[in-house]
Structure 1
Amino acid sequence: MRLAFSTNAYMRFPFEEAASRIASIGYEGLELMADVPHAWPAGLLDGPKRAIREAMDRHGLRFSNVNAFMMNAIADRRQPYWYPSFIEPDEGYRSVRIDHTRRALDLCAELGAPHITTEPGGPIAEGQSRQEAIDLFVEVLKPLAEHADRQGVLLLIEPEPGLLLETTDQYLEVAERVGAPSLGLNFDVGHAYCMAEDLPTQIAKLAPLTRHYHVEDIAETRVHHHLVPGTGAIDFPGVVDAIRQTGYDGWVTVELYPFVDDPDDAARGALGLLRPLVSGPSTAGRPAP
């Protein structure tokens, strides 16, 4: 397993400085935010793309993921992360999310990143049944998954509390109906904890479909608010053991977007807890102290 940090905590810094800080703290990789101010695909010219690649090389970093979930550039009055969503009743609004996702897949391929992550369908609209929303989401995903396949990258769905797909199990229905090898799961450990999922069980169960992990801590209340790992209630030694037992050797990205006031301190705190767990031997099966 390799540790990365998401640039969505560094929204107050240009990409070059964000990359420099993340590397100097000790991370091997970073998750690029496909949004302002770092890499909004709709307005990203060749020069800025080249500068991103050069900064990654200069600081010895690799891309763990391209985060296409957030859309702060649109500044939707309803909420800047979830809207416009994949299941908007209004086709015009829906197309904004679809077009952004297609551009993010293109950017992912161009930069040599492995995949993008995106929202799990957005909030269900008033008057919209869950089944209608699922059907619409599946139909939207099919051409996007085909586009990902053509580009040689993956399209990862991230279940989130309050949205159409809230749990990792709910992802299965959509994945089976889309039936595309380019579609995968971004397993967000904090989100699963919010939904009272049994983390070791679900990590093992969803392992064949999981292509990337997001980690953050969550308070014992299970309220969806990202905390620095080690400051909440999640059993990270148990989580890392569960991931290791699946044979996963990819990226684990720390996502701490609420910490824009001091992302360096949050990044250091997370690395201090996680690096010994990721690099150390498994503790599975050992007696409790």
Structure 2
Amino acid sequence: MKIAANLSMLFNELPLAERILAARVAGFDGVEIQFPYELPAIRLKELLERAGVPLVLINLPAGDFMQGGPGLAAVPARQQEFDAALQEALTYAAMTRPACVNVLPGRLAEGVTREQALETLADNLRKSAEAFALLGVRVVCEAINPLDMPGFLINTPEHLQALLERVDHPNCQAQLDLYHMARQGLDIAAGIRLLGSRIGHVQFADCPGRGAPGSGGVAFVSLIETLREAGYDGWLAAEYRPDGQDTEASLGWLAEWRQR
């Protein structure tokens, strides 16, 4: 497994264009960016090539989600907006070739039943999986804890499993964030075993606090072994808050992880 830096949360002391090389110098094998669209795709491609690191993951544009709204992917009335976001991400991915694109489920919209939201989400994931398969890019969908993000549609490994069964497309897999599972007090190892070969990407932060590994109580060593036993050999992406430090000062865990 290789380790990536999430540049939407790490190296925020630098402009986005400078974070890629900073991550490489710090010892990361790759980078992911939640919403990279402030940089033209050709510019991001040049920066990645100059630093010699791959782009691991980006998110599909999500409308008003980051401002507290329901987003796009599970809202029937926002189908045209979702389709436009899909086209934007496809154009971007054709240039930057991320390994994965994450389609955020979003929050349950007012006036929409959970069943309507899930059906819309499944249809949009299936459509996205089909489209990105032509580029060799995996589509993933993640569960987020409802304590930090009330109203989020997908919360647990069981939710993810049911959603993937509904989508039923080989290019759609689970994005498993260990922090979001720990924040709910879930049995993370059981969740890993449940999803097994359907895990397409893994993110992590410690809990409580969403800080660097070692700042909380998540048993990362055993969880990484459980991931290996489940057959996962993909990326581990650091998506934590450096907690007032600059990012470099928070990386005491990285050398030990690379040795393991």
**TM-score (normalised: structure 1):** 0.78
Alignment RMSD: 2.5
Residue number in structure 2 paired with 1:58: 50
Deviates more, 1:97-106 or 1:53-62: 97-106
Change (3 A) 1:15 1:127: closer
For the 8 Å contact 1:3–1:275, the answer to whether it is kept is: no
Q: 1:194 aligns with which of 180, 183, 187?
A: 183
Moved over 6 A (4+): none
Tell me how far apart the structure 1 counterparts of residues 86 and 242 of structure 2 sit (CA, whole Å). Answer: 25
Alignment of 1:86 onto 2:73: yes
Q: Is 1:182 the equivalent of 2:166? A: no
After superposition, the Cα gap between the structure-2 partners of 1:35 and 1:260, relative to the gap in structure 1 and judged at 3 Å, is farther
Q: Which amino acid aligns with 1:228?
A: A
The 8 Å contact of residues 105 and 155 in structure 1, kept in 2 or not, is answered as no
Q: Which residue of 1 aligns with 2:113?
A: 129
Q: Does 1:112 align with 2:92?
A: no
CA separation of 1:135/1:83 partners in 2, compared to 1, >3 Å: closer, same or farther?
Answer: closer
The whole-number CA distance in structure 1 between the counterparts of 2:158 and 2:126 is 19
Q: How does 1:1-289 map to 2 (within 5 A)?
A: 1-9=1-9, 10=11, 13-35=14-36, 37=38, 39=39, 44=40, 49-68=41-60, 71=62, 76=64, 79-80=66-67, 83-91=70-78, 94-119=79-104, 121-162=105-146, 163-219=152-208, 226-256=210-240, 258-259=241-242, 262-265=245-248, 268-269=249-250, 271-280=251-260
1:236 partner letter: F
Deviations 1:211-258 (A, max 9, x none): 110011121xxxxx52222111211112122122233222111012x5
Aligned length: 254
Residue 71 of structure 2 aligns to a residue whose secondary structure is coil
**What is the deviation of 1:279?**
3.0
CA 1:79–1:229 in 2, change beyond 3 Å: closer, same or farther?
Answer: same
Task: Identify unmatched segments of 5+ residues in structure 1.
Answer: 220-224, 281-289
- Identity rate, percent: 22
Q: Could you tell me how far apart the structure 2 residues matched to 1:205 and 1:275 are?
A: 30
